[in-house]
Amino acid sequence: MDELLITISGPAGSGKSHCASKLAELYGIPCHSVGSIFRRMASERGLSVEEFSKVVEKDPTIDRELDRRTAELASKGGQIIEGRLVSFFSQSFPNTLSFYLTAPFEERVKRIALREGISIDAAEVRTKMREESEKQRYKSLYNIDIDDLSVYDFVINTSKWDKESVVLLLKEIIDLYLKTSSKE
């Protein structure tokens, strides 16, 4: 585990943060969330994530700084990093296992509404705005199509299981990877 980098990506409401933090606990390794850093930066400016996303659309230096920090963290290994682009930036690092978690839009919206204590309608509007903003920014900044899932080792629909079962599934995959990669 000391050298393995685990990346977890996916859209809002897919279960990235929960799975990353639980896996970090299980393996006793650090966990970093790019989304948490982004939310903290928005809060420091007194803005919602959606409002901050609009600021970031006009100031690409914020995304570039976030992504630079993410790549720097990823280069060290022995940790879990959860974020939208982390798997794109860590493709060249050895000993990386990358996951893309997803769920149908309606399911993700319900999860976001519950998590944030807002209505389904508000969560739907926010999520659509945020996803469109991110899609445009990442294409413009890096020519990354976030709908291209070919960079991921595993793509998992988290609506198929409860949260803890998804964590167990990921753990089984990681354990199998560790077991088989140590024999090579």
pLDDT digits (tens, 9 = 90+) for 64-114: 888 888 878 878 878 999 998 888 888 778 789 999 999 999 999 999 999
183, part of any domain = no
| Structure-token pair, residue 111 | 């999860």
Give how far Cα 155 sits from Cα of 14, 46, 70, 117, Å: 11, 35, 21, 28
Cα separation, 25 vs 28, whole angstroms: 5
- pLDDT tens track for 138-177: 898 889 999 999 999 999 999 999 999 999 999 999 999 9
Q: Could you tell me what percent of the chain has a pLDDT over 90? A: 58
Is 58 part of a structural domain of the chain? yes
Please tell me the distance from the alpha carbon of residue 132 to that of residue 96, in angstroms, as a whole number.
28
85 within a domain of the structure (yes/no): yes
Domain span at residue 120 reads 5-173
Assign residue 128 the CATH number of its domain.
3.40.50.300
Structure tokens given for 97 = 């296992």
Q: Which is more confident, 76 or 13? A: 13
Token pair of 73, please? Answer: 């963290």
